[in-house]
Amino acid sequence: MKVDLLIRNGRVIDPSQNLNGHYDLAIREGRIVGLYEKEKTADDQGMNLEGKETIDAEGYVVTPGLIDLHAHVFPTKTSLGVAADRVGVEQGVTTVVDAGSVGLWSFDAFLEEAVYPSVTRVLAFLNISGDGLCTGGGELADMSRLTPREAAALIRKQPIVRGIKARMSGSVVKQNGIQPLRVAKEAAREAGVPMMVHIGNAPPKLTEILPMLDRGDVVTHAFHGKKGGIFDERGELIPEAQDALERGVLLDIGHGEASFSFQTLRHAQAQGIMPHVISTDVHQRNIDGPVHSLTHTLTKFLAMGYSLDEVIAASTLAPARILGLENEIGTLKVGACADVSILQIKKEPTMLTDSEQETLETKERVVAYQAITSGKVLTCK
């Protein structure tokens, strides 16, 4: 069988198929057409694979293309934004999801200036405010600028929009309290998509926010180190968070410059709570530290004792499911888009810093080597 690209000899980790072993991966016309065990190769099955291009991935880890569920990639209209490819394919990430930079009124510009020019697949959680982050912040302080009906209508027409975003911090909602979340939930329900909710400093309190969330909704910045988070002063999970988890509400890291704490993660580990998604909240103020990249963020979870399989699942399969695209991305199943990350686990001392300035030293780190998006190979920077 003639194919466009063969990736041979790599250690394939694909949580969508419970795979962790050595396989050869075949790609043709931007789709995955075969995945063959080394002990039972395509040649043994009489298929005689021949690739126009071959990558020898011996010593590397081959995964579904990494997905960053929370990034800010609208640099032409927001002060926080970074170019999608800078935090996407150049860092081994094949899909980035802009989490609320764009609102209804800037969506056309987002398509022209962020989505279409990028090699990286760019999706979005649409801000419930028509302004998005294009006016600098405080976007939920004026209820007249929220656009629930129009947002729902746009989502039905635009497949790159996969959900609704609402930032529920006091500095954003001002005097409006929980009301913007009610409006965001109305839009998400009408459009049939999940909602991503940013949590931070009250008001509103998390005890008000969590009961409004349903199965598939995402709490981002769930492991911040501020007061009033999902753990109380004793490090115990608050009842509202326990109820939310039982309903199927999902917890996302959303590291950011002020929203991830090693100590909060330790509280979670002590109670057997695993973040569902590992994302970065990467933007201009944290790309040079403490976030850096998705692979750097994954390194922090390896350093905290999570397995490589777990961190890959939380950055491929889990976000793909939230996006409703698990048959297209976040998987190496035959027929899926040929989005692939080739990673190296590099043995070298690395200092890691959370958003509270706590540091850890680790002896290995995740490094992006190559990204394949729809079958196109790019070498990472």
**Could you tell me the CATH number of the domain that includes residue 154?**
3.20.20.140
Nearest partner of 7 among 60, 46, 85, 66, judged by Cα: 60
- Say if residue 70 carries a ligand binding annotation: yes
Mean pLDDT to the nearest integer, 235-253: 98
pLDDT digits 0-9 by tens, 15-32: 999 999 999 999 999 999
Nearest to 287 by CA among 88, 15, 17, 20: 88
- 52 annotated as ligand-binding: no
Q: 115 with 147, same domain?
A: yes
56 is in an annotated binding site: no
What does the pLDDT read at residue 38?
75
Provide the number of structural domains found in the chain: 2
pLDDT at 379 over 70: yes
CA angle, corner 190, sides to 186 and 191, nearest 5? 120
Quickly count: other Cβ atoms within 10 Å of residue 67's Cβ: 30
The answer to whether 85 is annotated as binding is: no
Lowest mean pLDDT across 41-50, 169-178, 212-221, 252-261 = 41-50
**Do 57 and 69 reside in the same domain of the chain?**
no
Does residue 158 share a domain with residue 55?
no
Task: Tell me the residue range of the domain where 36 lies.
Answer: 2-63+335-379
Q: What is the pLDDT of residue 46?
A: 45
Give the contacts of 346 (CB within 8 A, at least 6 positions apart).
Answer: 364, 365, 366, 367
157, 277: one domain? yes
pLDDT at 147: 98
The answer to the question of whether 255 is labelled as a binding residue is no
What's residue 1's pLDDT? 86
**53 & 80 share domain:** no
CATH value at residue 368: 2.30.40.10
- Establish if 329 belongs to a structural domain: no
Assess whether 341 and 367 both reside in one domain: yes
Domain shared by 260 and 353, yes or no: no
* Mean pLDDT computed over 60-67: 99
Sign of the Cα pseudo-torsion (44, 47, 48, 49, in order) = negative
Q: Which of 50-54, 164-168, 257-261 has the lowest mean pLDDT?
A: 50-54
Return the pLDDT at 48: 76
For residues 69 and 53, state if they share a domain. Answer: no
Percent of the chain with pLDDT over 90: 95
Statement: the pTM of the whole predicted model exceeds 0.85: yes
Whether 79 is in a domain gets the answer yes
Inter-residue contact 145 to 130 (CB < 8 Å)? yes
The string of pLDDT tens digits covering residues 80-89 is 999 999 999 9
Are 28 and 116 members of one domain?
Answer: no
Whether 59 and 142 share a structural domain: no
| 221 marked as part of a ligand binding site | yes
Peptide bond into 290 cis (omega under 30): yes
pLDDT band at 45 (very low <50, low <70, confident <90, very high): low
Q: Is residue 330 part of a domain?
A: no
Q: How confident is the model at residue 335 (pLDDT cuts 50, 70, 90)?
A: very high
Residue ending a domain, among 301, 323, 345, is 323
